[in-house]
Chains A and B, each alone.
Chain A
Amino acid sequence: MQQVSVAEDLPLVEKLKILSDAAKYDVACTSSGTERSNVGKGMGNCTQAGICHSFSADGRCISLLKILFTNECIFDCKYCLNRVSNDVPRASFTPQEICELVLEFYKRNYVEGLFLSSGILYTPNYTMELIYQTLYKLRYEYHFWGYIHVKAIPGAASELVEKTGYLADRMSVNLELPTAEGLKALAPNKSRGKILKPMRLVQSRMEENKKELVLYRHAPRFVPAGQSTQMIIGATPETDYQVISVAESLYKKFALKRVFYSAFVRINEDEQLPVLPGGPPLLREHRLYQADWLLRYYGFQAKELLSEKKPNFNVLLDPKCDWALGHLEQFPVEINRADYYTILRVPGIGPKSAQRIVRARRMGTVDFEDLKRMGVVLKRALYFITCSGRMMYPVKLEEDYITRNLLSLKEKLPFPVDGDTTYRQLSLFDDCHIPYEDSGGSTEEEVLGIVKGLEAAGNGAAQRAG
């Protein structure tokens, strides 16, 4: 076996520094999706909505103690800080150390639980076994019942993945890059099949577990908060259409709970990695998340939002406004009569306010004043709705006019855009037919091909797993 230099005597602070620094590019830090009260012995519970415990300087939520078990890795993925060819300080935790850290942090309410990932130490199986042991110790020796998110290591034996799944709340396998070609170019040791195999395994095991739970209420629960994955955005030339099509098929075919998008940060100097002069593509990431929400909670489909002719999102308008402007024939919507899903498609109305509207109108007529109190963003919604047949102001239902007005409302973006020249130089009031960035684009066939390939690979993986 290959010799690895594990500095065993490193103080805990140093290890934590190295191994949290190495884990920070993983996006998922949610603790949502499962509800569990204290089981009696020991410590910890989970809440459905998840809880943020702090926010780091980059404005991301800190909910879980996000660490790697080790940053030793035999793989050489181009984008990764921990690749074997990088000369970085290496460290490994022991299961004992992780348990103590989690418990001490949890007791003081610093975190909601543990997010455990790892570099590949020796072999995938060896690494998965270490992760399993840590989780077992945490659950059954320390009686910790807080949230645990764990990575399924691609290439690990299915028995190992399965028994780890009974100890975790959420499992994830990172898709890394949206297409198989991208993966081949940047992650030579990984393949689409190897990634989809554990994903399919977790999915089918979860389905079986659901049936078991119907029969035996106290049967052990397998990954109760579901599985998630993440894709790096901007390292390879995929279009937004490709990305959300992949996400959509992951939701539909693999029953994923969440797909995370991570704007590419160039950590390694490598000629195969693109240089992005504007820094990480944060706006693009933001638009993808907005679209992701539309897919999951608003009943939209990927092909409604984008198409091969229009493969990327509008930089100036959020995907929902953009969609509404393209479908003005479906508006205005009568708030007192339209069904829930129609109301949900109005810009400025989210699932919560839509539910409130549907509820309130059973008891009385809803007016604009009421909408405001229910949390509807009227400055955006007013162009698309009527209350008892009247619009709020006499407005024209005309694309250019509404676009102009919507653009003059400053969209609340989660990051400053002042320095971003791609935005500023557009004169908003002269021309509102904003050209979409054309990145060469992909055809409908290509996208379908990707999705099909994904399915085929997934099915293959399932057969192999079965």
Chain B
Amino acid sequence: MGQLRELVERRRREACPSDRLRCPSWEEEPGIMETEGSMTVFVCEDSLDGIFTGVYDAWASRLGHRNVRLEVEEEKTLELFCRYTPVKTDMEKAKKVLGTIRERLGEECTEYICQAAACADGRKADAIYRMVVLGLSLEQGSQVTSCLTYGPVATVMELSQKTWHEAHKLMGFVRFSKLSNGILYAKVEPKHQVLSFLAPYFADRLRHESWIIHDVGRGLLAVHGGDVGWVLMEDQDLNPERLGQVAEKEEQIEELWKCFHESIAVEARINPKLQRQLLAMRFRPYMLEFTGERGRERM
């Protein structure tokens, strides 16, 4: 248990705590020198910091909002007559953008934008950029969340909802198993990057426990070391395989759960189609009640 605590504490010390820096140049009106010309595409890293750096760079480029576009790195065919500019993720710039969004567009909007940025959808970067631009042009920035008739805002809302849905589902579907050293360990494979939303939830719920949620697809870990809080890290930094074996008593408890899961169903109402609608197959490989021989029969 102690090892996680140390790890989390160390990580936290390393991270820079000042996240409320404001950049005066960001506050200034951007140059409206909209020159006719080709489109410049800012290609940013697929992360919250990457997208926010892209927003900063696109704005600071003063090419005019009409002539820039944001994209996240993904494999796709390049377009003709476009200039592609790779964005180098810069924590300072990202923090400034986050600070401005918080201050000018409000907490609610910040939440939507962060959720949309976690969604696995290529439209997100540009939609976030346009929403921020619109928000900063309004007298009351927080009203931007009401502008649902503006395409990009509708897109951000749609994407944020997708992320939130999956996060909410996983709050229920995550299954921890106890390792012999007392750590609770769970694997998930979500479509969107939901660890940042799951971690604070479980940090409150299992406040005094040490736990790890492993996003297998992205190679990310959310690590909670008891009362000290949680951090997000890449799984190369901490090999979960080396953490230890599953505890001995575990099998008994898993057996109890499987048995409960089976006996709670009403035979006269068996309805696998409905079950599939509500609990998609993609979640099941990591849920013990659906794995193993008996579990597969239930699918």
Contact = CB atoms under 8 A, between A and B. Distances in A.
A55 interface: yes
Interface string B273-290: 111011100000001010
Contact of B209 (A107, A365, A414): A107
B175 interface: yes
Contacts, number: 165
A303 interface: no
B163 interface: no
B20 interface: no
A62 B289 CA distance: 12
A304 interface: no
A104 interface: yes
Interface string A360-379: 10111111001001100000
Contacts of B209: 43, 107
A53 interface: yes
Interface residues of A, number: 61
A359 B261 contact: no
Contacts of B271: 57-59, 414-416
Give the interface size bracket for B toward A.
35 or more
B193 to A, nearest CB: 20
Given A24-B266, A362-B146, A56 B275 contact: yes
B278 A108 contact: no
B178 A108 contact: yes
Interface string A73-116: 00000000000000000000000000001001101111010000
6 contacts: A13-B256, A38-B205, A108-B176, A265-B269, A415-B273, A416-B271
Contact of A265 (B143, B174, B266): B266
Interface in B190-216: 202, 204-209
Contact of A16 (B175, B259, B287): B259
A58 B173 contact: no
Contacts of A52: 169, 172, 278
A58 B266 contact: yes
A91 B262 CA distance: 18
Given A16-B260, A57-B298, A374 B148 contact: yes
Given A54-B279, A59-B271, A60-B266, 10 more contacts: A20-B263, A54-B261, A54-B287, A59-B275, A108-B175, A109-B202, A356-B148, A359-B148, A363-B147, A373-B158
Contacts of B255: 13
Contacts of A363: 143, 146-150
A52 B269 CA distance: 19
Interface string B229-261: 000000000000000000000000101110111
A108 B260 contact: no
B177 interface: yes
B184 A107 contact: yes
Given A25-B266, A108-B176, A364 B207 contact: no
Nearest to B279: A55
A65 B149 contact: no
Given A20-B260, A109-B175, A414-B271, A56 B148 contact: no
Interface of B: 143, 146-150, 154, 158, 168-169, 171-178, 184, 186, 202, 204-209, 253, 255-257, 259-275, 277-279, 287, 289, 298
A282 to B, nearest CB: 7
A209 interface: no
A59 B178 contact: no
B146 A359 contact: yes
A109 B256 contact: no
B149 A365 contact: yes
B173 A53 contact: yes
B257 A110 contact: yes
Nearest to A365: B149
Contacts of A155: none
A66 interface: yes
A279 B268 contact: yes
Nearest to B271: A59
A53 B287 CA distance: 10
Nearest to B273: A416
A367 B149 contact: yes
Nearest to B171: A51
B265 A58 contact: yes
Contacts of B173: 53-54
B269 A360 contact: no
A265 B263 contact: no
Given A57-B275, A363-B149, A105 B257 contact: yes
Interface in A351-407: 356, 359-360, 362-367, 370, 373-374
A374 B158 CA distance: 8
**CB-CB nearest 8 A-B residue pairs:** A59-B274, A360-B148, A56-B265, A58-B269, A364-B149, A57-B265, A59-B271, A53-B172
A316 interface: no
Contacts of A51: 168, 171-172
Interface in A26-77: 37-38, 40, 42-45, 47, 49, 51-63, 65-66
Nearest to A143: B208
B208 to A, nearest CB: 7
Most buried by B among A60, A62, A107, A108: A108
A437 interface: no
Given A52-B278, A360-B149, A370 B154 contact: yes
